[in-house]
């Protein structure tokens, strides 16, 4: 596949693109396509509940900056159903988008669910309160993203690297940033937070183990005083690297917390942890317009 060239599809609420709705643009990508599709979303607030189906790989969805390209919905209920934006396809890229669930503080309200393999997000804002980001399954990469929530707001069982991301806790006392769901020692999953920062409005735990073998690594991360001294919550189940800032003081950490040696930490500190060198792709440099043979329902454009 030519990774330098993509088919360009434009979304513009004002009607100056190929589609007015993001979901319509995604639906127009042929099933099982073998070409890159670059869906360029013009600034605006898109009130849509979006799904990228499993049979539509190699899609990039891009705004110009996250602050003015907003995808929003308000829903609650089961974690797999409430998401504003759901990615089931492999090889998806999201760029410069705000993805939010505005349901509020009363229940589970996922903003982004990522269940496809080899997904990457750059410069995105992901916002909710409880269960903001369902980092469900597959190998994922998040770069320079802002992720906000209060309770288990990054959770799931993916193998994910969060590089230079800003985590902002809305918790006022007992919320956890992460709830990682690794159930077996043989599973090569877990979350690594590398070179980012943690801020918040009250107090928060670094995480709690949703799975028996839950694995979360913070390395070279600035931790503000929002992080409680004990650091971690064991979810009332006792069976279950160098960072800095007032929240990184480990002198009062729970006894079962483990500080990794350089040798132990090394496998988690590069993109090799997610096999990223083999699938992370640069942004395309050349674009071509869709033809009737490589976009579905062309007659519906702008309807």
Quick one: pLDDT at residue 191?
Answer: 94
Share of the chain above pLDDT 90, in %: 66
User: What are phi and psi for residue 179, nearest 5 degrees?
Assistant: -145, 90
User: What is the domain partition of the chain in residue ranges?
Assistant: 5-293
pLDDT at 235 over 60: no
The span from the first CA to the last CA of the chain, in angstroms, equals 32
Assigned token pair, 179: 């709830």
Share of the chain above pLDDT 70, in %: 92
Mean pLDDT in residue range 102-122:
96
Which of the residues 152, 183, 237, 272 is marked catalytic?
A: 152
Please count the CA atoms within 13 angstroms of the CA of 68 that sit on its side-chain side.
Answer: 6
227 sits in the region (left: phi over 0; alpha: psi -120 to 50; else beta) called beta
Spatial distance between the Cα atoms of 284 and 1, rounded to a whole number of angstroms: 12
Alpha helices by DSSP H, 216-282: 262-265
pLDDT at 46 over 50: yes
pLDDT band with cut points at 50, 70 and 90 for residue 90: very high
Quick one: pLDDT at residue 176?
Answer: 94
pLDDT at 292 over 70: no
Block residue for tokens 């839950």: 214
Count of residues for the chain? 303
Mean pLDDT in residue range 127-141:
97
Homologous superfamily (CATH) for 5-293: Single-stranded right-handed beta-helix, Pectin lyase-like (2.160.20.10)
Closest CA to 162 of 273, 283, 279: 273
pLDDT at 167 over 70: yes
Mean pLDDT in residue range 186-194:
93
Quick one: pLDDT at residue 251?
Answer: 80
pLDDT at 41 over 60: yes
pLDDT at 234 over 90: no
58 sits in the region (left: phi over 0; alpha: psi -120 to 50; else beta) called left
Block residue for tokens 């919905």: 73
Q: What is the gyration radius of the CA atoms in the chain, in angstroms?
A: 19
pLDDT band with cut points at 50, 70 and 90 for residue 196: very high
Quick one: pLDDT at residue 296?
Answer: 59
Look up 272 and say whether it is catalytic: no
Spatial distance between the Cα atoms of 136 and 140, rounded to a whole number of angstroms: 10
pLDDT in tens, 51-80: 999 999 999 999 999 999 999 999 999 999
Average pLDDT for the chain: 90
pLDDT band with cut points at 50, 70 and 90 for residue 301: very low
Please count the CA atoms within 13 angstroms of the CA of 10 that sit on its side-chain side.
Answer: 13
Please answer whether residues 190 and 216 qualify as being in contact, where contact means their C-beta atoms are separated by less than 8 angstroms: yes
């Amino acid at each position: 596949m030519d990774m330098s060239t993509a088919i360009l599809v434009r979304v513009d609420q004002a009607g100056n693109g190929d589609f007015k709705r993001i979901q319509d643009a995604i639906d127009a990508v042929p099933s099982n396509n073998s070409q890159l599709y670059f869906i360029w979303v013009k600034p605006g607030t898109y009130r849509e509940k979006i799904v990228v189906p499993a049979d539509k790989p190699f899609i990039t969805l891009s705004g110009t900056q996250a602050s003015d390209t907003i995808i929003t919905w308000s829903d609650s209920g089961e974690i797999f159903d409430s998401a504003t934006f759901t990615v089931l396809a492999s090889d998806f890229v999201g760029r410069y988008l705000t993805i939010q669930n505005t349901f509020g503080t009363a229940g589970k309200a996922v903003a982004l669910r990522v269940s496809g393999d080899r997904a990457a997000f750059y410069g995105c804002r992901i916002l909710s309160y409880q269960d903001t980001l369902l980092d469900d399954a597959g190998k994922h990469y998040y770069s320079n993203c802002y992720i906000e929530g209060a309770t288990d707001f990054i959770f799931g069982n993916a193998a994910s690297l969060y590089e230079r991301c800003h985590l902002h806790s809305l918790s006022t006392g007992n919320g956890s940033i992460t709830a990682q769901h690794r159930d077996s020692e043989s599973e090569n999953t877990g979350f690594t937070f590398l070179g980012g920062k943690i801020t918040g409005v009250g107090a928060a735990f670094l995480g709690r183990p949703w799975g028996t073998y839950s694995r979360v690594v913070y390395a070279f991360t600035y931790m503000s005083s929002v992080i409680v001294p004990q650091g971690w919550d064991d979810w009332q189940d006792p069976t279950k690297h160098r960072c800095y800032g007032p929240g990184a003081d480990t002198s009062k950490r729970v006894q079962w917390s483990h500080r990794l040696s350089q040798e132990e930490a090394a496998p988690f500190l590069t993109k090799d942890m997610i096999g990223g060198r083999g699938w992370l792709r640069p942004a395309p440099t050349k674009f071509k317009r869709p033809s009737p043979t490589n976009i579905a329902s062309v007659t519906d454009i702008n309807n």
